[in-house]
């Protein structure tokens, strides 16, 4: 099992992340516009290209689990991974393979991103990747945890639906403009018919 002091640390970091999220939400709802995406602007320091920003900021959530997998012995993996945790790890990695390696290479272009915003996102992914990896790969498996249970199957189905919404929404956004066109265009189709940020809705559904 996870040592008590490690468990306390994981809980403390998790609560800190929730607190940071609530603070960011309050600031954004209070009128602050994050310099990201179409709102990216000068005045926030060095700018980097959209592709490079995506790869840098999402990479920790892919790299950290892979490093922990590679550094784990077969005995450690047998002790930690039961079927539900194996599936959860696969879901996590599938999402971040797409976000780190596939999505950045498929986007046509994008507004440059302030380096400070990219590094803040990378810091979040580093903490998130570490928390998820530690729980999935270092905590002892629960012999009573069942993969064939209604809550688990419902959660897995919701993740699959969210991944589908996310991928389809990304495809719609990639094809908003023809080569050479610029300016803001309202996306149509898929879940964009119901919400303005269908790509974000897909991620919320996943996690």
Specify the 3-state DSSP secondary structure of 122: helix
Specify the 3-state DSSP secondary structure of 48: strand
Buried (b) or exposed (e) across 78-88, using 16+ Cβ within 10 A? eebbbebbebb
The arithmetic mean of pLDDT across residues 95-113, rounded, is: 89
What percent of the chain shows pLDDT beyond 90?
Answer: 47
**What is the rounded CA–CA span in Å between residue 81 and residue 57?**
27
Q: Which two tokens stand for residue 190?
A: 């898929």
Q: What is the pLDDT of residue 1?
A: 45
**What is the rounded CA–CA span in Å between residue 207 and residue 204?**
5
State if pTM tops 0.75.
Answer: yes
Q: What is the pLDDT of residue 179?
A: 65
Q: What is the pLDDT of residues 5-52, one digit of tens each?
A: 577 788 888 899 899 889 988 988 888 887 877 777 777 888 999 899
Q: Provide the mean pLDDT of the chain.
A: 87
Residue 206 binned pLDDT confidence (cut-offs 50, 70, 90):
very high
Contact residues for 85 (Cβ-Cβ < 8 A; gap 6+): 136, 141, 145
Length of the chain: 207
């Amino acid at each position: 099992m996870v040592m008590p002091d490690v468990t306390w640390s994981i809980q403390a970091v998790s609560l800190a992340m929730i607190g940071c999220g609530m603070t960011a939400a309050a600031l954004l709802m209070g009128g602050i516009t994050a310099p990201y995406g179409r709102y990216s602007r000068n005045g926030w320091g060095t700018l980097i290209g959209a592709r490079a920003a995506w790869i840098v900021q999402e990479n920790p959530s892919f790299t950290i689990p892979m490093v922990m997998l590679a550094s784990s012995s077969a005995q450690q993996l047998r002790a930690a991974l039961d079927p539900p945790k194996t599936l959860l790890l696969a879901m996590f990695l599938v999402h971040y393979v797409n976000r780190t390696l596939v999505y950045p290479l498929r986007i046509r272009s994008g507004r440059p991103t302030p380096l400070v915003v990219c590094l803040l996102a990378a810091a979040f992914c580093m903490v998130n990747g570490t928390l998820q990896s530690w729980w999935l790969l270092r905590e002892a498996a629960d012999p009573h945890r069942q993969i064939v249970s209604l809550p688990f199957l419902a959660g897995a189905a919701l993740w699959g639906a969210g991944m589908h919404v996310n991928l389809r929404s990304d495809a719609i956004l990639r094809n908003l403009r023809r080569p050479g066109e610029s300016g803001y265009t309202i996306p149509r189709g898929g879940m964009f018919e119901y919400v303005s940020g269908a790509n974000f809705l897909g991620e919320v559904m996943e996690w």
